[in-house]
Structure 1
Amino acid sequence: MLYIVATPIGNLEDITLRAIRVLKEADYIFAEDTRVTKKLLNHLEISNTLYRYDEHTKQHQVENIVNLLKDGKTVALVTDAGTPCISDPGYEVVDEALKEGIKVTPIPGVSAMTAAASVAGVSMRRFLFEGFLPKKKGRQTLLKSLANEKRTIMFFESPHRVMKTLKDIDSYIGNKNIVLIREITKIYEEIIRGTAQELMESLKDRTLKGEFVVIIRGNEQEPVKERVNKYVNMKEEGEY
């Protein structure tokens, strides 16, 4: 069995009872950074065998993991924080395991994407998730392609690039309402809202730390009052 285990993104209390049990029972745990995961395992008093699985080791570790699974071992895959295989390594080993007929089971839990979406105050009924933006090649083209996007747009950004990203949003996407959420579940958790220019002004004299989730309000999102009025009209006309 291959378990894909979600782990806390900050607050260590944000781990499920099932995740704790699976990590305790796994024959092997593969982690993006063993040093980070070791802190969590120590906190949970778990001492199982721990190996590294990241962008630099995945080429040979995929085969190793699949061989362990074929031998009847139980393997748990975790990332540094949150749910694996979204913006972190992991989908390759899941793909290979499924091809080999090995059962893969998700152990759901924290995700920065869904946690940020829940507190943004923006409609998330339809949204586009871009992970991390390209640092150079393709960045401008991608941002320009999002200028007329009707869905809410979400992506991750590092603290040392967030100011440049806000400037690029202002240049290529335009004057949109943006939500910045950083340090989710941690002591200095913060939600900041405004246009790109307003946010740059707010952040310009600050030392920025912690990964950001950037949420851009899509085009043509109906205000709550308009949606309610439309619903009432549809009810009256028997269309709902």
Structure 2
Amino acid sequence: MSDTPTGSLYVVATPIGNLDDLSPRAARVLGEVAVIAAEDTRHSGRLLRHLGLARPMLSLHEHNEAARVESLDARLVAGEDVALISDAGTPLISDPGFVLVRELRARGRRIVPVPGACALVAALSAAGLPTDRFLFQGFLPAKGGARQGRLERLASREETLVFYESPHRIRDTLVDLATTLGARRVVLARELTKTFETFLDGCAAELLERMDADPDQARGEFVVMVAGASPRQEDEAGVVEGEALLVALLAEGVGVKQAAAVAARVLGGAKKVWYGRLQALKDGH
């Protein structure tokens, strides 16, 4: 299947629910490789049986991934092709595979993506939230304090925030969202591509009420999407005051680098932003 002297590692996306979402190319690759590295061989075995394929498999998960690098690399060097799959969706997206791909790429091996289903992309495509910029955070911390701290650090981000969450933590996450982000719009995508696929839309407190009224809405795997913070509007007077300080610093012969540090300390904001403004003023002057 490969024209190169060594074999290729195919990173193959598999369905997140509906088995019909597997692409013909992905099915062909899985049927032709020498071995399939799967997160859970028992789980992936059901997919192969559905496809009528019988291929050798070995496990590759977070606990043995580093140890698998040498044996899989040896197969590639011998000219064999290998497929990497996760339990569902695209490998490496909150799933194992990063260590393997990083190490093999560093050795000059050929890595071939075979695209397909990905829960975060599927959820965003149907959520009705801005998608021109989004920030994917994978799974939030399991412990409440760490989870709240993460959300507080993300509260000022203007991009749509995207998380994965499990059914036994979804309520706690919604409570923390309500506490840290208030009435900001939240969209929950539940059981994507499966029989009971559901999108729930509202603020975090409203979604908690819906789960209290219908406990079934707390079941399944979730993609949690949160509207970003409103763009910060600079106060016009503050801008004028800031520009005046910049001009004064330059007039006194203060260097651009030192003036940027002063502006950042006095007016707030990033030093590199003030540096850019100062440089523009200096060049214009």
Using the size of structure 2 for normalisation, the TM-score is: 0.76
User: Which ranges of 4 or more aligned residues in structure 1 deviate by more than 6 Å?
Assistant: none
What is the one-letter code of the residue matched to 1:204?
Answer: D
Partner of 2:268: none
Say if 1:66 and 1:96, in contact at 8 Å, map to a contact too: no
Q: SS at 1:138's partner residue?
A: helix
Q: SS at 1:60's partner residue?
A: helix
- The separation in 2 between residues aligned to 1:139 and 1:121, in whole angstroms, is 25
Using the size of structure 1 for normalisation, the TM-score is: 0.90
- The separation in 2 between residues aligned to 1:128 and 1:32, in whole angstroms, is 25
What's the CA shift for 1:63? Answer: 1.8
Structure 1 unmatched runs, 5+: 222-240
What's the CA shift for 1:64? Answer: 1.5
What is the one-letter code of the residue matched to 1:163?
Answer: R
Say if 1:29 and 1:77, in contact at 8 Å, map to a contact too: yes
More helix, by proportion: 2
What's the CA shift for 1:210? Answer: 1.2
What is the one-letter code of the residue matched to 1:74?
Answer: D
Partner of 1:146: 154
Partner of 1:209: 219
- The separation in 1 between residues aligned to 2:163 and 2:147, in whole angstroms, is 13
- The separation in 1 between residues aligned to 2:126 and 2:15, in whole angstroms, is 17
Show CA shifts across 1:68-119 (max 9, x none).
Answer: 1111110000000000011000011101111111000000000001000000
What is the one-letter code of the residue matched to 1:197?
Answer: A
Match of 1:190 among 170, 193, 198: 198
- The separation in 2 between residues aligned to 1:173 and 1:16, in whole angstroms, is 39
What's the CA shift for 1:173? Answer: 2.1
- The separation in 2 between residues aligned to 1:144 and 1:5, in whole angstroms, is 35
- The separation in 2 between residues aligned to 1:203 and 1:86, in whole angstroms, is 28
- The separation in 1 between residues aligned to 2:46 and 2:99, in whole angstroms, is 26
- The separation in 1 between residues aligned to 2:146 and 2:167, in whole angstroms, is 21
Partner of 1:130: 137
Q: Size of the alignment, in residue pairs? A: 221
Show CA shifts across 1:49-75 (max 9, x none).
Answer: 011000122121122211211111100
Select the structure of larger CA radius of gyration. 2
- The separation in 1 between residues aligned to 2:112 and 2:142, in whole angstroms, is 33
Q: How much is the aligned-residue C-alpha RMSD, in angstroms?
A: 1.1
Partner of 1:171: 179
- The separation in 2 between residues aligned to 1:199 and 1:144, in whole angstroms, is 20
Superposed, 1:64-83 pairs within 5 Å as 64-83=71-90
Identity of aligned residues (%): 46
- The range that moved more, 147-156 or 62-71, is 62-71
Match of 1:2 among 9, 33, 39: 9
Structure showing greater relative contact order (alpha-carbon pairs closer than 8 Å, 6 or more residues apart): 1
